[in-house]
Amino acid sequence: MEAPSGASNASAYHAEMDGDTKIPLILFPTCVMEAMAPAVGEAVVRTLRDRGFAPSIPPDATCCGQPAWNAGYPEEAATVARTTLAALTDAPSGPVCVPAGSCATMMRVYWPELFRRVGDEEARAAAVEIADRIVEFTRLVADDRRQADRQGTVAYHHSCHMLRELHIHDEPVALLTDAGYAVADWDDDDRCCGFGGLFSVKEPEISVAMADEKIDGLPLDGIEALVGSDLSCLLQLEGRMRRRGIDLPVRHIAELLDPSGPTDVR
């Protein structure tokens, strides 16, 4: 099957679906998810299957290279990104689903620039080639809207890259409300959480102050969980909340969409 072009093309894949046949899909799991939240990865897999995809992870894919790229080390970023790019290029055609807005941005938006910067024309061309196939998780899933009656009120954190580089704003909120959850008003839900990769280590005081202002604005009395689509932002916010003694559950959106997940948010 040829991969249709465009960022959000699951419906095109669905059009080619035949009964119960699942559409092959490459899942790029992200290093943070593999190391810190394999359970979230399972929820991602089950959600994708529920929407008609057959996800597989290319065994040789590693990391997108973003930590080094954002820190100002393009050579090191390219060394790592090249490995993943090759693994994805060798994998079957079809969408490459990335369950993190930030990694999806790195691969879709910044890879061509990264390889241009280090003078690797072959990799740059391959990155341009694959860019259209890179799809952030909620954008892919939102092409197949499902109504359900799950319970709970959550706050949703709009992560920066997803919002301002991939321009994904409505999809995750629509997925949550479709599933039955209420999404609470949260002032400045689109302001940066303060993670920023190495920024959180180089300027920890500013980073924590940014997290604090986000957390201070949470309507804690009216919500049962904080939800987002980027585990790294969620680690930052959860890490700060735990230190402050706030035990609000923090969930990746896939956990709330997981067909075998709990029917209420806790």
The C-alpha atoms of residue 9 and residue 187 are separated, in whole angstroms, by 32
Q: How far is the CB of 241 from another protein (least distance, A)?
A: 9
Q: DSSP H helical segments within 118-203, as ranges?
A: 121-131, 137-141, 160-164, 170-178, 199-202
Q: What string marks each residue from 73 to 102 as x (binds another protein by CB under 8 A) or -?
A: xxxxx-xx-xx---x---------------
Long-range contacts of 219-223 (CB under 8 A, 24+ apart): 219/155, 219/184, 219/185, 219/186, 220/246, 220/248, 222/153, 222/184, 223/153, 223/154, 223/155, 223/184, 223/248
Q: Please work out the total of residues on this chain that contact another protein, with binding judged by CB under 8 A.
A: 73
Q: In the stretch 112-151, what mask flags binding to another protein with x, by CB under 8 A?
A: -x---x----------------------------------
Helix and strand tally (H, E) in the chain? 15, 8
- Of positions 71, 131, 174, 220, contacts another protein by CB under 8 A: 71
Choice from 3, 12, 57, 215 touching another protein (CB under 8 A): 57
Please, what is the minimum distance in Å from the beta carbon of residue 250 to another protein? Answer: 8
Question: 17-20, long-range: CB within 8 Å, 24+ apart, which pairs?
Answer: 17/52
Residue 60 CB, nearest approach to another protein (Å): 4
Query: Considering the complex, what minimum distance in angstroms separates the CB of residue 175 from another protein?
Result: 20
- Position among 9, 207, 229, 232 found at the interface with another protein (CB under 8 A): 207
Which residue lies nearer to another protein by CB, 87 or 182?
Answer: 87
Q: Is 55 in the site for another protein (CB under 8 A)?
A: yes
Binding to another protein, residues 221-250 (CB under 8 A): 235-236, 238-240, 242-243, 250
159 in Cβ contact with 103 (< 8 Å): no
72 binds another protein (CB under 8 A): yes
Burial zone of 190 (CB within 10 Å; 0-12 exposed, 13-18 middle, 19+ buried): middle
Position 215 contacts another protein (CB under 8 A): no
Token pair of 261 as six digits: 């997940």
